């Protein structure tokens, strides 16, 4: 899954990119990232949106789910006849100021005996076209195709991922802008933007001792974008201003992690993520620590709890449950609160709801 978009207001072009799924609570020392350009704040936020809360926890040292680490797709063999898993899923992010993003996805995993696990995924993201704090609507559409592979070699596991996403975004309405020599003035804006993103991720797993698992991923991505914006001043005989912008945004992400399975289907884990997001206008170094515990409360019920914190003091919380409904079916539910501090200046605090079904054949 991948989330990215581009907007331009009165000649100001903003690239929205990512993918994302963790959720921070406020901390006393928190920072709202308002010192950074919107184009570099959105990619790390939406990368977390794509990390669904599922069995094994939101860690790159996951034995079951490949949401963070493609090597995890091939680590645990499936005890089924065909080695196939079909997974439909849904995620929704609701923001304090009324914006909603709806993500639907379809994933298929085939666990072959000799070549590892292969996992193609499609996903679609749509917004509710609501009005933001800047007075503009937010019509957001993303279509994503992703392919992952993972294979285990004894105590080692390796994996790779390629993700392609195409985004379109439209914004229109009236916003207040500071016009040089005049001061604040309402400006009518119509903006259309498009972008494509290309992401490559490699991951590894290593079991140094019984019950311990180390994981790491490295990702590189680049995003060519284009935008056209028309700004109209409420001044007679002044023609609209038309602005075109294009460029490329890039990102590097490195994330190591460790997990310890203290009982069957019960583990604790801890990750650190470093991300560098930059374009011609600005750059952002994003660093975040996360930890969690997954405990098998009942034979059919697993529960998860995972706090996180970035280096600016924004603390977050992610929770989830896994329901083992039978030998060939399971369900996952997740909830995350205010996990996107990078977006708070524009959209306010967020809540994320996730639902996943897994059918094994």
Residue-wise pLDDT for 224-256, tens only, equals: 988 898 888 887 877 888 989 899 999 999 999
CATH number of the domain to which 14 belongs: 2.40.160.40
Q: Which structural domain range is residue 212 located in?
A: 5-360
Evaluate whether 70 touches 163 at the Cβ level (below 8 Å).
no
CA–CA separation, 352 and 340 (whole Å): 10
Evaluate whether 70 touches 332 at the Cβ level (below 8 Å).
no
CA distances from 73 to 120, 293, 326 (A): 11, 20, 21
Residue with tokens 């990078």: 342
Encode pLDDT of 285-342 as tens digits: 999 999 999 999 999 999 999 999 999 999 989 999 999 998 899 999 999 998 889 9
Number of domains in the chain: 1
Amino acid 73: pLDDT: 95
Residue 186's pLDDT band (boundaries 50, 70, 90)? confident
Instruction: Report the pLDDT averaged over residues 123-138.
Output: 83
Please give the structure tokens belonging to residue 126. Answer: 């749509």
Evaluate whether 46 touches 266 at the Cβ level (below 8 Å).
no
Residue with tokens 């602005």: 243
Helix/strand/coil for 71 = helix
H-only helix segments in the chain: 38-49, 344-347
Alpha carbon of residue 64 to chain centroid: 19
CA–CA separation, 281 and 306 (whole Å): 34
Evaluate whether 334 touches 352 at the Cβ level (below 8 Å).
yes
Residue 45's pLDDT band (boundaries 50, 70, 90)? confident
pTM: 0.84
Cα angle: 289, vertex 95, 225; to 5 degrees? 80
CA–CA separation, 69 and 91 (whole Å): 19
Evaluate whether 268 touches 29 at the Cβ level (below 8 Å).
no
The per-residue b/e assignment along 89-107, b for 16 or more CB within 10 angstroms, e otherwise, is bebebbbebebebebebeb
DSSP letter (8 states) at residue 72: G
Instruction: Report the pLDDT averaged over residues 106-115.
Output: 93
């Amino acid at each position: 899954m991948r989330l990215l978009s581009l907007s331009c207001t009165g000649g100001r072009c903003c690239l929205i990119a990512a993918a994302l799924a963790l959720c921070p609570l406020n901390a006393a020392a928190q920072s709202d990232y308002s010192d950074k350009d919107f184009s570099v704040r959105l990619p790390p936020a939406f990368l977390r949106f794509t990390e669904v809360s599922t069995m094994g926890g939101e860690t790159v040292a996951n034995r079951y789910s490949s949401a963070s680490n493609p090597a995890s797709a091939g680590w645990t063999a499936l005890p089924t006849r065909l080695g196939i898993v079909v997974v439909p899923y849904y995620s929704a992010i609701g923001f304090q100021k009324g914006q909603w993003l709806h993500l639907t996805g379809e994933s298929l995993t085939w666990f072959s005996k000799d070549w590892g696990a292969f996992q193609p995924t499609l996903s679609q993201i749509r917004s509710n076209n609501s009005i933001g704090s800047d007075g503009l609507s937010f019509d957001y559409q993303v279509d994503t195709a992703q392919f992952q592979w993972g294979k285990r070699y004894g105590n080692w596991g390796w994996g790779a991922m390629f993700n392609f996403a195409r985004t379109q975004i439209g914004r229109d309405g009236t916003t207040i802008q500071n016009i040089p020599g005049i001061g604040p003035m309402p400006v009518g804006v119509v903006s259309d933007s498009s972008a494509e993103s290309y992401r490559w991720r490699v991951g590894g797993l290593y079991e140094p001792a019984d019950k311990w698992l180390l994981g790491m991923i490295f990702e590189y991505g680049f995003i060519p974008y284009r935008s056209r914006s028309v700004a109209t001043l409420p001044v007679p005989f002044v023609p609209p201003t038309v602005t075109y912008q294009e460029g490329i945004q890039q990102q590097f992400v490195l994330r190591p992690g460790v997990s310890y399975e203290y009982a069957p289907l019960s583990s604790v884990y801890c990750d650190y993520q470093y991300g560098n997001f930059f374009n011609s206008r600005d750059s952002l170094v994003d660093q975040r620590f996360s930890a969690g515990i997954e405990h098998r409360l009942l034979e059919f019920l697993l529960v998860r709890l995972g706090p996180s914190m970035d280096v600016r003091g924004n603390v977050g919380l992610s929770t989830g449950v896994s329901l083992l409904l039978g030998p060939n079916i399971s369900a996952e539910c997740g909830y995350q609160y205010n996990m996107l501090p990078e977006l708070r200046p524009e959209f306010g605090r967020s809540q994320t709801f996730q639902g996943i079904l897994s059918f094994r054949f």
